[in-house]
Chain A
């Protein structure tokens, strides 16, 4: 079936099997290998992309559900020569090892920073109506859907904090 999505600013029409996930559409049909498949079941976050600005697990979503949507993948955030600030912070803080969870962590962080800026509350906030202060605890809570088996967590939190600090 035909679906039209805009990926990193470019409109694409795909005519693929209706069982194709958004993740497989990106990886296998559009050739964007940056989004990773760690579990294919919404349990690891390696496939995180931004759909209309919000982070989702692209393995848990069929392509067919995204007709007309704007999708941003890791490839749409920055390039090796011109890194997105979150990518740059990951590099400087050594916030990855094998790199397989990394695109998902970075997309998730970008989405999370926007959520925080928009005032979305989290479980660890004492006053959910207050302005979000991106403390370490707040970042950990909001990033917990992204597993890193290499366990670069302290470095990832430091990287995100450095960006959150710059933005503030």
Chain B
């Protein structure tokens, strides 16, 4: 951490003279996207027509390949190569990191005869066309010696261990306080395996030029992908040029490199021609990561006035045996409500399922499904409004660490949301409101998501025509990164948006950590801001030192940048004129950001409140959304349009979580039974009715120089719980097993005599 910085001082972003910060400008790359001319990884123009790859995958969860026969595949029309573990070119063993600075270790494909999960790649075909490659892959004969794997999560809790390097957090004496509490809740909530279902399946196009490879791939982390490929192929990382300009959704699932990257690069080298490879939709479910199932036990002990005295949130989750990952589903609860006696922690079951990993708001997204329902249950037992219960447990300082909050508007979000949503219409007694065959109810939940700043760099140049180009090894997975970086750069430099270009997704550009963990905008944006500030300094020096500039002689501290001009009071010239005259080759500078001491000294989060109204069909048990509204506080908002889209998108993910999304494990094969978009149900148009969100005014000067925070994940946090609470309010049926499908709702209604 660097020393304390004066991030509270006025700067071009906080002054916002051009008015670009916060403005809902249309997406920078929007015209390319609405005309279908943005090339995604599988669609880029290669130096020559790419050959096409297709993967064959394992049909068991665990065991060994005993026989693999590729004779027919090799003889099939158009086939250029067929690889299995027996003949794939040499790769570094898994986990190798020849360069200690690599952000990712090697991750070889077809690495051996062992099968570690259903859907593992076991053979790879390249042919002249997609049709020939797919047909040949289907001709490969494979026999296995299957072994019994651990694939049933709920049946394996006895194998749950403390995640490596972690301890439970005990504060005060939870058991004693819970035993003494006059009002208690002790319930367990289950959420299933979920899948990202990014609309664009993972894909790579690769080609070589001598000993250097160029890959266009669909990945959220530029450096991570570059290093993973370099380590796997045992080549220097600067021999890998990785590009990822347009990404058809990520949501955490494209944070790592998969077999498409490795195999297309290897095959392009072997064949001496470009090769491209995409996962099929079905392969995405097993060949890439998922959100693991979580079982959460929540114990709350309260005084009659609602004050929590005992608070425990414990999560059991799972990951693949060879890819340790913990869904930190209890972490958020450490910062949310005050209570003197606390217990939080995680247990992890290692299983023989495909790899578990981050999916939009890892931790919070499944975690909040439990506590935010438990608070609803407690409110009812206490006869308190759920908002009032939360207000009575609002902490003054971070309840676990005692650190001050940088800024915390949770209560304001709940109050504002209640008014705008019409919370007073809610009948606190469940099962009372009928609309024909429908029972109608309302629920709410709080939202919290941590805020992070990671180290990042950015480069910015100005050319003689005045064009300012920002370059960064950053990605835009649909989040709006191109657009906000353009706004930050234009506002910092005092130029109109049309004068700014943004180039990203290239491993040759100054590195940024990529998109993930809701840190993208703050991290990449702050580096872009610092680069812009450095460019201002360079241009100021250029102008006051140039006898031909009207600014000659300064004073430098009075220089302003506005309307495309550099000026000292009424002495001014355009940036283009200055650069064309004084630096005709242009000026290039870089800027960087790293977390400051504030990140350590303050508890920093984004907050919100969700309100949902549902109708429950008393005949079928189907739940239909009627209205959903959210109020959020997430620092200074850079773009009103794209930020709202991020948040409403997250809220809709919450609806899917509550009602439909679940990957069901087939215990016979360790596979997901529903492995396509007809079986794994994400929300569709008809599912989303009257859904909107607003932001409260905020700036967090402890977060970064611009006072901004992330918004990409906040919207899903708590959203599903608000829907679940609305189902309870509608029916009086308390379900604790997500998703709340018609079968479960109907069964619950029958049980209470509805």
The interface stretch among A31-39, A113-121, A126-134 is: A31-39
Residues of A contacting B197 in the complex (Cβ-Cβ under 8 angstroms): 149
Q: Is the interface of A mostly helix, strand, loop or mixed?
A: loop
Which positions in B face A, CB cutoff 8 Å? 24, 26-27, 29-40, 42-43, 129-132, 135, 196-201, 246-251, 278, 280-281, 477-480, 641-642, 644-646, 648-650, 652-653, 676-678, 682-686, 688-689, 691-692
Residues of B contacting A39 in the complex (Cβ-Cβ under 8 angstroms): 281, 676-677
Instruction: Tell me whether A147 and B130 are in contact (CB under 8 A).
Output: no
Provide 9 A-B residue pairs closer than 8 Å at the C-beta atoms, listed in order of the A residue: A19-B135, A20-B129, A33-B37, A38-B200, A40-B281, A96-B33, A97-B249, A147-B682, A148-B199
Residues of B contacting A27 in the complex (Cβ-Cβ under 8 angstroms): 43
Instruction: Tell me whether A94 and B33 are in contact (CB under 8 A).
Output: no
Instruction: Tell me whether A94 and B129 are in contact (CB under 8 A).
Output: no
Instruction: Tell me whether B688 and A98 are in contact (CB under 8 A).
Output: no
In the complex, whether A156 has a CB less than 8 A from a CB of chain B is: yes
Given contacts A38-B199, A151-B649, A154-B691, contact A19 B131 (CB under 8 A): yes
In the bound complex, CA of A151 to CA of B33 (Å): 16
Residue among B478, B653, B686 making CB contact with A97, cutoff 8 Å: B478
Instruction: Tell me whether B132 and A41 are in contact (CB under 8 A).
Output: no
Residues of B contacting A50 in the complex (Cβ-Cβ under 8 angstroms): none
1-58 of chain A: CB within 8 A of chain B? 16-17, 19-20, 24, 27-28, 32-41, 43-44, 46
| CB closest chain-A residue, reference B246 | A99
In the bound complex, CA of A154 to CA of B300 (Å): 37
Given contacts A41-B281, A91-B34, A147-B677, contact A100 B688 (CB under 8 A): no
Q: Is the interface of B mostly helix, strand, loop or mixed?
A: loop
Contact with B along A137-165 (1 / 0, CB 8 A): 10111011111111111111100000000
In the bound complex, CA of A79 to CA of B36 (Å): 9
| CB closest chain-A residue, reference B24 | A94
Instruction: Tell me whether B35 and A74 are in contact (CB under 8 A).
Output: yes
Residues of B contacting A97 in the complex (Cβ-Cβ under 8 angstroms): 249, 478-480, 642, 645-646, 649
Instruction: Tell me whether A91 and B31 are in contact (CB under 8 A).
Output: yes
Nearest 9 A-B pairs (CB), nearest first?
A34-B36, A100-B248, A98-B478, A99-B33, A97-B478, A151-B652, A74-B36, A43-B677, A33-B43
In the bound complex, CA of A148 to CA of B685 (Å): 8
In the bound complex, CA of A103 to CA of B677 (Å): 19
| CB closest chain-B residue, reference A145 | B684
Instruction: Tell me whether A38 and B281 are in contact (CB under 8 A).
Output: yes
Residues of B contacting A37 in the complex (Cβ-Cβ under 8 angstroms): 42, 201, 278
Instruction: Tell me whether A152 and B645 are in contact (CB under 8 A).
Output: yes
| CB closest chain-A residue, reference B646 | A97
Instruction: Tell me whether B199 and A149 are in contact (CB under 8 A).
Output: yes
Residues of B contacting A67 in the complex (Cβ-Cβ under 8 angstroms): none
Residues of B contacting A75 in the complex (Cβ-Cβ under 8 angstroms): 35-37
| CB closest chain-A residue, reference B40 | A100
Residues of B contacting A73 in the complex (Cβ-Cβ under 8 angstroms): 36
In the bound complex, CA of A126 to CA of B27 (Å): 38
Residue among A16, A90, A100, A157 making CB contact with B685, cutoff 8 Å: A157
Q: Kindly count the residue-residue contacts between A and B in the assembled complex, taking CB atoms under 8 Å apart.
A: 188
In the bound complex, CA of A154 to CA of B684 (Å): 11
Given contacts A38-B200, A41-B676, A151-B653, contact A98 B31 (CB under 8 A): no
83-103 of chain A: CB within 8 A of chain B? 83, 87-88, 90-92, 94, 96-103
Instruction: Tell me whether B34 and A90 are in contact (CB under 8 A).
Output: yes
Instruction: Tell me whether B648 and A154 are in contact (CB under 8 A).
Output: yes
| CB closest chain-B residue, reference A33 | B43
Q: B264 to nearest A CB, angstroms?
A: 16
Given contacts A94-B27, A140-B686, A154-B692, contact A79 B35 (CB under 8 A): yes
Residues of A contacting B34 in the complex (Cβ-Cβ under 8 angstroms): 74, 83, 87-88, 90-91, 96, 99, 102-103, 106
Q: B684 to nearest A CB, angstroms?
A: 5
Residues of B contacting A78 in the complex (Cβ-Cβ under 8 angstroms): 35
Residue among B35, B131, B281, B685 making CB contact with A156, cutoff 8 Å: B685
In the bound complex, CA of A144 to CA of B248 (Å): 19
Instruction: Tell me whether A146 and B685 are in contact (CB under 8 A).
Output: yes
In the bound complex, CA of A52 to CA of B642 (Å): 35
Instruction: Tell me whether A36 and B199 are in contact (CB under 8 A).
Output: yes
Q: B645 to nearest A CB, angstroms?
A: 5
In the complex, whether A168 has a CB less than 8 A from a CB of chain B is: no
Residues of B contacting A40 in the complex (Cβ-Cβ under 8 angstroms): 280-281
In the bound complex, CA of A101 to CA of B646 (Å): 16
Q: A79 to nearest B CB, angstroms?
A: 6
Instruction: Tell me whether B645 and A144 are in contact (CB under 8 A).
Output: no
Instruction: Tell me whether B678 and A99 are in contact (CB under 8 A).
Output: no
Instruction: Tell me whether A98 and B132 are in contact (CB under 8 A).
Output: no
Given contacts A94-B641, A100-B248, A151-B648, contact A34 B37 (CB under 8 A): yes
Instruction: Tell me whether B249 and A100 are in contact (CB under 8 A).
Output: yes
Q: A64 to nearest B CB, angstroms?
A: 12
| CB closest chain-A residue, reference B38 | A99
Residues of A contacting B33 in the complex (Cβ-Cβ under 8 angstroms): 96, 99, 102
In the complex, whether A80 has a CB less than 8 A from a CB of chain B is: yes
Residues of A contacting B201 in the complex (Cβ-Cβ under 8 angstroms): 37-38
Residue among B129, B477, B479, B683 making CB contact with A153, cutoff 8 Å: B683
In the bound complex, CA of A153 to CA of B656 (Å): 13
In the bound complex, CA of A153 to CA of B648 (Å): 9
Residues of B contacting A32 in the complex (Cβ-Cβ under 8 angstroms): 36
In this complex, the member of A80, A151, A157 whose beta carbon has the largest number of chain B beta carbons within 10 angstroms is: A151
Instruction: Tell me whether A99 and B248 are in contact (CB under 8 A).
Output: yes
| CB closest chain-B residue, reference A92 | B26
In the bound complex, CA of A44 to CA of B691 (Å): 22
Q: B284 to nearest A CB, angstroms?
A: 9
Instruction: Tell me whether B478 and A150 are in contact (CB under 8 A).
Output: yes
Residues of A contacting B644 in the complex (Cβ-Cβ under 8 angstroms): 94
Instruction: Tell me whether A153 and B688 are in contact (CB under 8 A).
Output: yes
Q: A116 to nearest B CB, angstroms?
A: 15
| CB closest chain-B residue, reference A101 | B199
Q: A81 to nearest B CB, angstroms?
A: 8
Residues of B contacting A34 in the complex (Cβ-Cβ under 8 angstroms): 35-37
Given contacts A20-B131, A37-B278, A41-B678, contact A150 B37 (CB under 8 A): no
Instruction: Tell me whether A139 and B199 are in contact (CB under 8 A).
Output: no
In the bound complex, CA of A44 to CA of B677 (Å): 7
Residue among A24, A36, A150 making CB contact with B649, cutoff 8 Å: A150
In this complex, the member of B42, B130, B641 whose beta carbon has the largest number of chain A beta carbons within 10 angstroms is: B130
Residues of B contacting A77 in the complex (Cβ-Cβ under 8 angstroms): 35
Q: A38 to nearest B CB, angstroms?
A: 5
In the bound complex, CA of A94 to CA of B198 (Å): 19
Residues of B contacting A94 in the complex (Cβ-Cβ under 8 angstroms): 24, 26-27, 641-642, 644-645
